């Protein structure tokens, strides 16, 4: 186990861009949604930079790109419903687990750490994805972007998880790929570990000054 885990009891993981490379399926749903509305269709590279603040903001960014201005509420609602239906129909068709994820989760769980999942993704997609990859059993709880009143970068979901599992923030580590994970972790009083391979709106994650950066989750458990 890496020394950053010394004194830690709980490890909180982000999902998109940290455990799973989900952009291929998110992009298909965005492309189908915009196509249905007769708008131009973006490529995966564009969609990648729109992920990170939850599904409503992803849809709003896609519509703003297609329209050249902010969408009105009725269009946003219609597009959001279409996106949710398309993504819900195939959240795992092209999504893959990043290397080392299963090994790291199993090792951490085996070493007695409490593992939780804190994503900005809508809650309804969490279990289908965890089950598809056979990793649900290792998590004590999961929080989606629409589970609580606030999502990352708010510290609220992290503090909720720490409280529910009866650990103090100083006993917790937040692991994520984006500035929102690092900001939420710092605000919650968690230590922060960043993975540079995910989605951070095109910026290097080092700009957020996480406590640690590792190339892969394997480095956490070896
Ligand atoms: O759905 C998003 O926008 C990001 O999800 P994440 O918090 O798991 O990275
Ligand atoms: Mg992420």
Whether residues 111 and 83 fall in one domain: no
Note whether 164 and 141 are within 8 A (CB): yes
Please check if 44 is assigned to a binding site: no
User: Any idea of the CA torsion for 134, 104, 124, 133, to the nearest 10 degrees?
Assistant: -30
Which of 66, 89, 112 marks a domain boundary? 89
Give percent above pLDDT 90 in the chain.
99
Give tens-digit pLDDT for 188-202: 999 999 999 999 999
Q: What does the pLDDT read at residue 86?
A: 98
Q: Domain of 12: which CATH number?
A: 3.40.50.1000
**Residue-wise over 77-110: b if at least 16 C-beta within 10 A, else e?**
ebbbebbbebbeeebeeebebbebbbebbebbbe
Whether residues 69 and 161 fall in one domain: no
Q: What does the pLDDT read at residue 165?
A: 98
Which of 74, 89, 104 marks a domain boundary? 89
Give tens-digit pLDDT for 1-32: 999 999 999 999 999 999 999 999 999 999 99
Give the domain range for residue 49.
23-89
Instruction: List helix spans (H) across 7-118.
Output: 23-36, 44-50, 55-67, 73-89, 101-110
Q: Which of 193, 211, 25 is nearest to 104 (CA)?
A: 193
Whether residues 13 and 50 fall in one domain: no
| Torsion 184-186-192-194 (CA) sign | positive
Which of 89, 124, 142 marks a domain boundary? 89
Tokens representing residue 125 in the block: 């997609």
Whether residues 150 and 175 fall in one domain: yes
Q: Is 17 in the pocket of ligand 1 (CB under 6 A)?
A: yes
Give tens-digit pLDDT for 104-149: 999 999 999 999 999 999 999 999 999 999 999 999 999 999 999 9
Q: What does the pLDDT read at residue 28?
A: 98
Q: What does the pLDDT read at residue 55?
A: 98
Whether residues 159 and 73 fall in one domain: no
Whether residues 36 and 101 fall in one domain: no
The DSSP element (H or E) to which 163 belongs, if any, is: helix 156-164
What pairs with residue 141 in β-bridges?
Answer: 116
Please check if 203 is assigned to a binding site: no
Mutate to test the pocket of ligand 1, among 24, 120, 178, 197 (most ligand atoms within 8 A of CB): 120
Which is the closest atom of ligand 1 to the Cα of 54? 3
Give tens-digit pLDDT for 58-82: 999 999 999 999 999 999 999 999 9
Q: What does the pLDDT read at residue 136?
A: 98
Tokens representing residue 129 in the block: 């994805």
Q: Count the residues in the chain.
A: 222
Whether residues 37 and 102 fall in one domain: no
Active-site positions read: 14
Cα separation of 128 and 20, whole Å? 13
Which is the closest atom of ligand 1 to the Cα of 18? 9
Average pLDDT, the chain: 97
Whether residues 27 and 66 fall in one domain: yes
Number of domains in the chain: 2
Whether residues 117 and 82 fall in one domain: no
Q: Indicate the SS3 state at residue 86.
A: helix
Residue 93 Cα distances to 6, 82, 132, 169, 204, angstroms: 38, 18, 10, 36, 28
pTM passes above 0.90: yes
Q: What does the pLDDT read at residue 141?
A: 98
Whether residues 82 and 181 fall in one domain: no
Whether residues 177 and 201 fall in one domain: yes
Mutate to test the pocket of ligand 1, among 101, 145, 148, 184 (most ligand atoms within 8 A of CB): 145
Whether residues 27 and 106 fall in one domain: no
Q: What does the pLDDT read at residue 101?
A: 97
The angle formed by the CA atoms of residues 7, 8 and 14, to the nearest 5 degrees, is: 160
């Amino acid at each position: 186990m890496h020394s950053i885990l010394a004194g830690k009891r709980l490890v909180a993981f982000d999902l998109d861009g940290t455990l799973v490379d989900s952009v291929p399926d998110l992009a298909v749903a965005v492309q189908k949604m915009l196509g249905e509305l007769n708008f131009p269709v973006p490529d995966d590279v564009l969609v990648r930079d729109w992920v990170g603040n939850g599904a409503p903001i992803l849809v709003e960014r896609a519509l703003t790109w297609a329209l050249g201005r902010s969408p009105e509420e009725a269009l946003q609602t219609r597009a959001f419903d279409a996106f949710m239906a398309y993504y819900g129909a195939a959240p795992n068709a092209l999504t893959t687990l990043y290397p080392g994820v299963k090994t790291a989760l199993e090792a951490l769980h085996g070493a007695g750490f409490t593992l939780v999942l804190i994503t900005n993704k809508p809650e309804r997609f969490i279990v289908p994805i965890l089950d598809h990859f056979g990793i649900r059993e290792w998590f004590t709880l999961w929080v989606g972007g629409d589970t609580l009143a606030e999502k990352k970068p708010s510290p609220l979901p992290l503090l909720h998880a720490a409280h529910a599992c009866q650990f103090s923030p100083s006993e917790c580590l937040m692991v994520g790929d984006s500035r929102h994970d690092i900001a939420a972790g710092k605000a919650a009083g968690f230590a922060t570990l960043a993975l540079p391979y995910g989605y951070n709106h095109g910026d290097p994650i080092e700009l957020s000054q996480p406590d640690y950066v590792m190339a892969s989750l394997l480095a956490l458990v070896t």
